[in-house]
Structure 1
Amino acid sequence: MNEWVGLEHAKMINEQLKKWETTAEDIDLIASHGQTIYHSPKSMRPASEYGNATLQIGDGDHLAVNTGIITISDFRQKNIAAGGEGAPLAAYGDYLLFANSDEPVVLLNIGGISNATFIPASASFKDIVCTDIGPGNTLMDQWIQQHTDWKFDKDAYYAQQGSINEDLLSALKANPFFDLPVPKTTGPELFNTGYIQESIKKARLENLIWQDVLATLNYFTATVIASTILKFSTEKAKPSILISGGGLHNPLLLEHLHQLLPGYSIGSTSDKGIHPDAKEAILFALLANELISGENSFGEGAPGFPAVGMGKISFPF
């Protein structure tokens, strides 16, 4: 699979170069995150003798050889080797793109897992806090895929047909992950359909209609995001919130966030010139550039985020 994913990605890149009517010689670097197969921070298994672990596939050598372009891949291993959990890596790109503001800002990415970077006004890298929050779209996506042929709940169509169930909401919130100190990381290894079914069972709601479950998952996602943001806010310094990721396109989720975070300015990264659906790709392009240039733009690092160059270099020759 490692080879196959790398070759498939190479095909996609070569096809895109043809569409752009450009050649490999015009491209400086490929920054390839790869496909995450497993992510297992030590905090999820405290009794284990093994440390933080993560695995992404999509071999960089196959990408480089089959495109003719220098490729940077496998970014997360260096972060773990230097003492991090391997995620979220958004801290590095968010700092380079959004620091030096006169106002505090939260960069909220709602992908499969939601994560946030808190940047105080005029902050250095060591001042920021970046953490996974919990589920973003993953629980909603997995649930709707189980009950329809949709990949996701477009425009919250089905969630808006359901009602929030408070007992299920309480069961969903009852997980030790939410009490862990930040920074922390998680993934679908924890937040999956099994998590939903176990919560339904705990709440004794086996007969709850699936639309009500989906509506509750939507609100649950909003509540864990809002509670995390509130922990890093004060009445005198409410940060502006800039959202990226697929969750930005869920109108019900955004409605809940506005209700749960009154008085906050909530927009998207497009307000700062960064397309919200491209921010994660831009992040890894920045990390690749940092590595290949041999620069350290992060000073002493931040808690959980060592100031190291990340990624492995693969040459096409």
Structure 2
Amino acid sequence: MQQWTGDSKNQIIFCGPSNRSVDLVARLVIDKLGSKAPPIVIMYGSAIEQLTYPIPGRASVSRRNIRDAKADTYLVENGVVLHNIIRQDGKPYAARLKELDKQISDDVSMIEEMDKSTRGPLKTTIEDIKEYKDIQSKATKEELPKYDVIFCTTSLVANPKVLKATKDRVYQLIIDESGMCSEPSTIVPIIATSAKQIVLIGDHKQLRPIITCKEAARLGLGTSLFERYSRNHLYKTMLKEQYRMHPKICEFPSKHFYDGELRTHPGVGTSPKLQMWPHTIDGHCPHVFCHIEGDEQTLTVKTEAGNEQSKFNDAEVKQVVINLFPNNHYL
């Protein structure tokens, strides 16, 4: 939790370019800190909220993107998702919100299930939807100030509801994966929150902003604010110890991208070694490059988001198995 700083700024906003990046950190806070965690809340955009609480006539997330867009189940179960919190019993606007939720849900079901020529009149009026949105806005603005840490995407930080609820309250703004955030998407939350302290976290040598417009990329939009600061060595701190790669694999990126500064934690690579071809002098090779020519196949897989296309290559699978288990006689 934030220490008293002598002014009213006492909240932290943790944001990132995607819901997934933010959800991951929120889950870690709950898992690692448990009961010692500060009060946190996750705020999703209206597109995700409308997956649970749809509004007639409003655009919804496409089935193709529903898996990436839906609220994190673990966070929902832990009761830290804002659009569910404002509907909890005892909250000032919960009763009316749930009443309108039921009415609107019935109308949405009628629209989806019945032919227009046979269905009856909808109960929900334009005035009802306006009231619904007004109540949501009021509930959000009254609820957000109660939390020490607010998790959301960089684009949502500048939402008027967030700005009004956190005005003059944000002490620290943390932008995760900022190496892949475009400069405008980083600058907007910095200016909007007037935070006293800004922390940018990322690695522009792994992922940079995805800019589809060639002219915009040529003019520099592909360079993040994080990268600009890194180039000038302004307030830069490098985390030099990694836990993900075997030391032998780490040698290459460390030498060619990180000036030899990237080190491997002593505990990495100490597990029993797989005997893989080809062997090095010491009898072990942590990585293998194999040339495989196979046909990519497509399989239709049924998921909660609908039918999706999954691609696979049998030749690649068989080669991996051969490398791992050279004495397997069933191949």
With the length of structure 2 as denominator, give the TM-score of the two structures: 0.27
Task: Pick the structure with greater CA Rg.
Answer: 2
With the length of structure 1 as denominator, give the TM-score of the two structures: 0.28
